[in-house]
Amino acid sequence: MAELGSGVEQVLGSMDIIHYRHTDGAIARVIRVGRVPVRQVELVSNCRHFRAARCVILRQALTFGNLEFGAGLRMLIEVTPYQNVWPHQFQEAAARIRAAIGDFAKRIDHIGSTAVPGLAAKPVIDLMVSVADLSKIGPVVSSMEDAGFVHRPEAGRDRPPPWEANDPSEWKKVYFRTPDGVEPRIHAHFREMGRRNQRYALLFRDYLRSSEHACESYGLYKQLLGGAVGHLSAPGGTGPYLDLKDPVLDLIADAAEKWAAETGWRLPEPD
C-alpha cells in the first residue's frame, strides 16, 4: 500500500470507499476514483451507519503528506451564486407545463434552492406540480413527454425526514426532467395536494426565504460540499453530494417546523 501519511496504521477494507485506522484510534474514510484517493471524510466515533449522512464534512481539502486530494476536479453541475434569471425560468417552465396538462395541475410552485433569493444553488429549476390524485396521471405522462420532458419512474418517492412516519402514500411522487444538455435544466415533481411531501417542499422554501442566516449558511455549505465531493457525484448532484447533504436538509427541516409553529405558517398562494 502506498504511504498516505504517518497516521495510517492499517487498511480495514477495500472498495470505492476505503477505511483506514489511524494510530490515535480515529476512523476515517478515503473516497477513491480508481486507485487515487481524492478526499477524506472523517467519521464521528460513534457512527452507526455506513451512509455518509452521519459523517462530518471538513471545511477544506485535507492532505496526506504533500498531496491535496480533489484538486482540479469539479462537479458537473456546479453550485453557483444566486441568479436573477431563475424566477423567470420558473415562470416560463410553469407556463409550458400548464399549457401541456391544463387543470390537472391544481397549483405549480417554484421550490428548491433556486426559489430562494440570494441562495447559492445548482442552476436547476425545481418546480412542484400539485395534483388531486396521482393515480390518474397516466395521460399526463404522454402530455409531459410531448412537451419535452423525460419521465423518470425510478424516482417515484421522496425521502422523509427521520422523524416522519414512513408512509408511502405521503411521500410518493411522479418525476420529470428535461433531457440532458437542454437548458435551462428543469425538474418537475408531481405531488398530491395535502400530502406531507407537498407541505415539506413549501415549508422548507419559505423558511429559507425568511431566515437570512440559514440561507447564507446553507449556501456556503453547498458550495464547500460541491468543491469537496461534487466530482464524485452524478450531474444532478446525486451520489456523495446528496448523501452528505441529507443530514443538513434534516436540520433545516427541523428548524423550519419550529418556525412554522411559532409563526402560524400555512400553505402560501402559488408563485
Provide the pLDDT for residue 235: 62
Q: What is the pLDDT of residues 136-177, one digit of tens each?
A: 999 999 999 999 999 999 999 999 999 999 999 999 999 999
Provide the pLDDT for residue 133: 98
- Residue 188 CA to residue 173 CA, distance in Å, equals 10
Given a cut of 80, whether residue 50 has pLDDT beyond it is: no
Other CB atoms closer than 10 Å to residue 201's CB: what's the count? 22
Given a cut of 50, whether residue 217 has pLDDT beyond it is: yes
How many residues in the chain? 271
Q: 213: part of which helix (H) or strand (E)?
A: helix 212-229
Provide the pLDDT for residue 236: 58
Q: 209: part of which helix (H) or strand (E)?
A: helix 196-210
Residue 262, C-alpha cell as written in the block: 411559532
- Backbone dihedral region for residue 113 (phi beyond 0: left; psi -120 to 50: alpha; all else: beta): alpha
Query: Which part of the chain is CATH 3.30.460.10?
Result: 86-263
Residue 29, C-alpha cell as written in the block: 474514510
Is 86-263 assigned to CATH 3.40.50.300?
no
Given a cut of 60, whether residue 37 has pLDDT beyond it is: no
**Distances in whole angstroms, Cα of residue 15 to Cα of each of 37, 64, 84, 171, 176:** 12, 19, 42, 32, 33
With CA atoms as reference, report the closest residue to 184 among 240, 100, 112. Answer: 112
Given a cut of 70, whether residue 51 has pLDDT beyond it is: no
Given a cut of 80, whether residue 27 has pLDDT beyond it is: no
Q: What is the pLDDT of residues 86-132, one digit of tens each?
A: 999 999 999 999 999 999 999 999 999 999 999 999 999 999 999 99
| Segment 59-66 mean pLDDT | 31
